[in-house]
Amino acid sequence: MLGINDLVNLMFVLVLKLAMTTIQKIAWLYYCMVTLHGTTYVLETLLVLSFSVERLVAISCPLRVRFIRLG
What is the pLDDT, as a whole number, of residue 14?
81
Three-class secondary structure of residue 16 per DSSP: helix
Q: How far is CA 68 from the centre of its chain?
A: 28
Alpha helices in 19-61 (DSSP H): 20-25, 27-60
Q: Is residue 52 part of a domain?
A: yes
Q: Is the pLDDT of residue 23 over 70?
A: no
Q: Is residue 70 part of a domain?
A: no
Domain count, the chain: 1
Q: How many residues does the chain have?
A: 71
Summarised one tens digit per residue, pLDDT across range 25-67 is 677 877 887 788 788 888 888 888 988 988 888 888 777 666 6
Q: Is residue 64 part of a domain?
A: no
Domain that holds residue 45: 2-59
Q: Is residue 71 part of a domain?
A: no
Do the Cβ atoms of 5 and 47 come closer than 8 Å?
Answer: yes
What is the pLDDT, as a whole number, of residue 24?
66
Q: Is residue 24 part of a domain?
A: yes
